[in-house]
Amino acid sequence: MTAISSKICIVGDFAVGKTSVVERFVNNHFSDKYLSTVGVKIDTREIELADIGVLHKLVIWDVAGSESFGDKEFAYLRGAAGYIFVADGTRPMTLGSAVKLQSQIVDRFGNTPAVILVNKRDMTHEWSASDERLAKLQEQFDSVYRTSAKTGEEVGSAMARLSRLIINKEVRAQ
């Protein structure tokens, strides 16, 4: 099995659940307590893509929440093979932030595999991301997922999808 390592960055507005998504993905754990990320947090997890014989190690850069990037944030993003954008389904404004961040990344680094996670799906009463709005996101991102870091809904699928996109791109580039 071929081992491949890739740097991926997880970005989005503050308090959308980026660190919780990573915590769910890496340690299968969730905490209700909000802890703001300062700078960047590094974690890793391997995904086995058995059908193509690849053991894919994702080095995840969990970047502090921001609605737009400056030089300091771009330093964190440099060299990333893919991006996880996270928005909060109970705060529609954060969808706008994700779109804006994605546009900044494309301007700076060109097209890179990117999926968006519209998180906090478990908060059904406060959910306000309309289906129409989410359908529109399909035009800007490779995939759109309605996720819950709390229940784990769709988190693994989204990560696996990004992994597959990165490997496919690398294979095409070789």
Residues forming contacts to another protein in the complex (CB under 8 A) are 5-7, 14-15, 34-44, 57, 59, 61, 64-65, 72, 75-76, 78-81, 91, 93, 126
Which of residues 133 and 157 has its CB atom nearest to another protein in the complex?
A: 133
Percent helix / strand / coil, the chain, rounded to 5:
35, 30, 35
- DSSP annotation of 130 reads -
Q: Is 122 left (phi over 0), alpha (psi -120 to 50) or beta?
A: alpha
DSSP-assigned beta bridge partners for residue 12 = 86
* Smallest distance from another protein to CB 43, Å: 6
DSSP 102-159: HHHHHHHH----EEEEEE-TT-TTT----HHHHHHHTTTSSEEEE--TTT-TTHHHHH
Do you know the residue count of the chain? 174
* Smallest distance from another protein to CB 38, Å: 5
Which of residues 5 and 28 has its CB atom nearest to another protein in the complex?
A: 5
The answer to whether the beta carbons of residues 25 and 163 sit under 8 Å apart is no
Which of residues 64 and 157 has its CB atom nearest to another protein in the complex?
A: 64
* Smallest distance from another protein to CB 17, Å: 12
Which of residues 2 and 5 has its CB atom nearest to another protein in the complex?
A: 5
* Smallest distance from another protein to CB 170, Å: 12
* Smallest distance from another protein to CB 133, Å: 17
The answer to whether the beta carbons of residues 26 and 41 sit under 8 Å apart is no
Which of residues 90 and 154 has its CB atom nearest to another protein in the complex?
A: 90
Those residues whose C-beta lies under 8 Å from the C-beta of residue 96, and which sit 6 or more positions away, are none
Which of residues 75 and 135 has its CB atom nearest to another protein in the complex?
A: 75
* Smallest distance from another protein to CB 34, Å: 7
